[in-house]
Amino acid sequence: MKVGSFFYFLSIPFRKLDNLSKRHQRTVFSVLYLLTFMTTYLVGSSGYGWRGGLWYMGGLMAILTAHEFGHYIMAMRHAVSASLPIFLPMPFPPFGTMGALIRLRSLIPDRRALLDIGAAGPLAGLMVAIPIIYWGIKLSSVVPIQETGAGMIELGDSMLYSSISYLAIGSLPVGHELVLHPLAFAGWVGILVTAINLLPIGQLDGGHVIYALFPRHSRYVSRGVHGSLVVILLFYYIGWILPVLLLFFFRGHPPTLNDREQLDIGRKLIGSVVLLFFILCFMPVPFDIGDGLFFILKRYFGV
């Protein structure tokens, strides 16, 4: 079982690490962690300069680290054998990383442990992301639209990000745009990664939470959310094509050792809060580029 990243299927090659000594495992995890610092810095500095690269790297890695160790610490609390966080460096835009994950080497004992482990990562990451976004927005620049330049990409907005932005600087003057400071962009990426991980599908964090809350009905929620992503892919944003294809094969969720264990009211509340954060963080169109697959094919074939 995996938690912590949309790219959880990439954990398959890391299974061989279990055959190494703990010292060698820690060495591999440390190297990947340091490489992810390097790749996020490279991507950040390519767009913002060396100082901006440091801001971006520091902000994004703080969010990812909090997220993954939230999972890890909660797994240790429930005596679930887990790997150290596996960070996935990627020296290419737009983010410099494919996120991170942890491998759970033993089965989850019950639904209470499943919810605790699944919810701990996103909640810990958001506790770091929210002040980073607020501070980053404060450091950002409000400029006239004509000064933004034709090459700039407009980012999608989530309810959480726009609310924090409003608290930080209020409403933008007419005819002006907000040019994000690299720290604010790191916070935006953190919100996007959190939203993807909170999709209530398969073994994503949201999939763990929805299974813990509704073990007998979670499959229907997963199918409904996956169907909604297909609609967005077809008519609004081609960028969802990879998640839609991959999640088609990873929609199922394995049972815990004791699915009959009931959740207490506190955990039900935490699960509801996590699902609410999914709604607040989700961006149907993260980047204002391209179009829906249907319209792209329509133009290509001249229909």
144-183 confidence digits (pLDDT tens)? 888 776 567 789 999 999 999 999 999 988 888 899 999 9
Question: What gap in Å lies between CA 61 and CA 190, rounded to an integer?
Answer: 9
Beta-sheet strands, E only, within the chain? 2-3, 86-89, 97-103, 141-144, 176-179
Return the DSSP state at 101: E
| Predicted pLDDT of residue 294 | 86
Q: How confident is the model at residue 285 (pLDDT cuts 50, 70, 90)?
A: very high
Question: What gap in Å lies between CA 8 and CA 20, rounded to an integer?
Answer: 21
| Predicted pLDDT of residue 16 | 66
| Lowest-confidence pick of 51-65, 129-143, 245-259 | 245-259
Main-chain dihedrals φ then ψ at residue 144, nearest 5 degrees: -60, 145
Question: What gap in Å lies between CA 185 and CA 52, rounded to an integer?
Answer: 10
| Predicted pLDDT of residue 11 | 52
pLDDT tens per residue, range 43-96 = 999 989 999 999 999 999 999 999 999 999 999 999 999 988 999 999 888 899
12 pLDDT higher than 60 = no
Main-chain dihedrals φ then ψ at residue 276, nearest 5 degrees: -65, -40
| Predicted pLDDT of residue 276 | 97
| Predicted pLDDT of residue 153 | 76
Please count the other Cβ atoms lying within 10 Å of the Cβ belonging to residue 135. Answer: 17
| Predicted pLDDT of residue 302 | 66
Residue 85, preceding peptide bond in cis (omega within 30° of 0) = no
Question: What gap in Å lies between CA 87 and CA 102, rounded to an integer?
Answer: 9
For residues 9-29, one letter each, b for 16 or more C-beta atoms within 10 angstroms of the residue's C-beta and e for the rest, the string is eebeebeebeeeeeeebeeeb
| Mean pLDDT score, 245-262 | 88
Computed on alpha carbons and rounded to an integer, the radius of gyration of the chain in Å comes to: 20
* Structure-model confidence comparison of residues 1 and 263, the more confident one: 263
The one-letter amino acid code at 64 reads L
Question: What gap in Å lies between CA 118 and CA 176, rounded to an integer?
Answer: 40
Rounded percentage of the chain residues whose pLDDT exceeds 70: 92
| Residue 278 to residues 207, 233, 237, 272, Cα–Cα distance (Å) | 11, 19, 19, 10
120 pLDDT higher than 70 = yes
The whole-model pTM stands at 0.91
What's the N-to-C CA distance of the chain in angstroms? 45
Does residue 209 contact residue 274 with C-beta atoms inside 8 Å?
yes
pLDDT tens per residue, range 172-226 = 888 888 999 999 999 999 999 999 999 999 889 999 999 999 999 999 999 999 9
- In 3D space, the residue among 122, 143, 129 whose CA is nearest the CA of residue 186 turns out to be 129
Rounded percentage of the chain residues whose pLDDT exceeds 90: 66
Main-chain dihedrals φ then ψ at residue 290, nearest 5 degrees: 75, -160
| Predicted pLDDT of residue 251 | 79
Q: How confident is the model at residue 110 (pLDDT cuts 50, 70, 90)?
A: very high
- In 3D space, the residue among 187, 18, 21, 132 whose CA is nearest the CA of residue 86 turns out to be 18
